[in-house]
Structure 1
């Protein structure tokens, strides 16, 4: 498994669903040796167009390969295993 990477949370200011997503994300960070990095989609035209109606989403760097909300801890864990081993 790749280790020491970032799990990107695509978010924006005032996203209440993003706060709910964080509750599912936090317990998995240590297991996969990941740091959570929040990216505000409002700061990037491409990300804003891509995610404006589907945040929160999490990814490992490729904005085309993301786990979309709603997800629970098990779904996110499965998504991470498929990508990180």
Structure 2
């Protein structure tokens, strides 16, 4: 499974979101695909005020202050299906 993390450089919330995802990798098998929104005008327009954004299977699961419990719940649902 691959998780997209939409972020930007010099973003403390993005760093915290990445840390949450890395901690969850101890429980679940997935890759983190970190995407800098400043490299794509479309992504910048879409996510500028929301970052960081965690996307699992094309679904925006959480953004801003990313919560480990929210991501864990979605990963458990994905594991069951």
TM-score (norm 2): 0.81
Structure 2 gaps of 5+ residues are: none
Would you say how many aligned residue pairs link Structure 1 and Structure 2?
79
Q: Secondary structure at the match of 1:53?
A: coil
1:77 has 2:72 as partner: yes
d(CA) in 1 for partners of 2:22 and 2:7?
15
Instruction: Say which of 15, 19, 38 aligns to 2:11.
Output: 15
Structure 1 gaps of 5+ residues are: none
d(CA) in 2 for partners of 1:45 and 1:83?
30
TM-score (norm 1): 0.77
1:60 has 2:81 as partner: no
1:24 has 2:20 as partner: yes
Question: For each residue in 1:5-59, what CA deviation from the matched residue of structure 2 results, as whole angstroms up to 9, or x when unmatched?
Answer: 2111100111111111122111212432101111011111221111000100111
Return structure 1 stretches of 4+ with deviation > 4 angstroms: none
How far has the Cα of 1:80 moved from its partner?
Answer: 2.3
d(CA) in 1 for partners of 2:56 and 2:66?
16
RMSD: 1.7
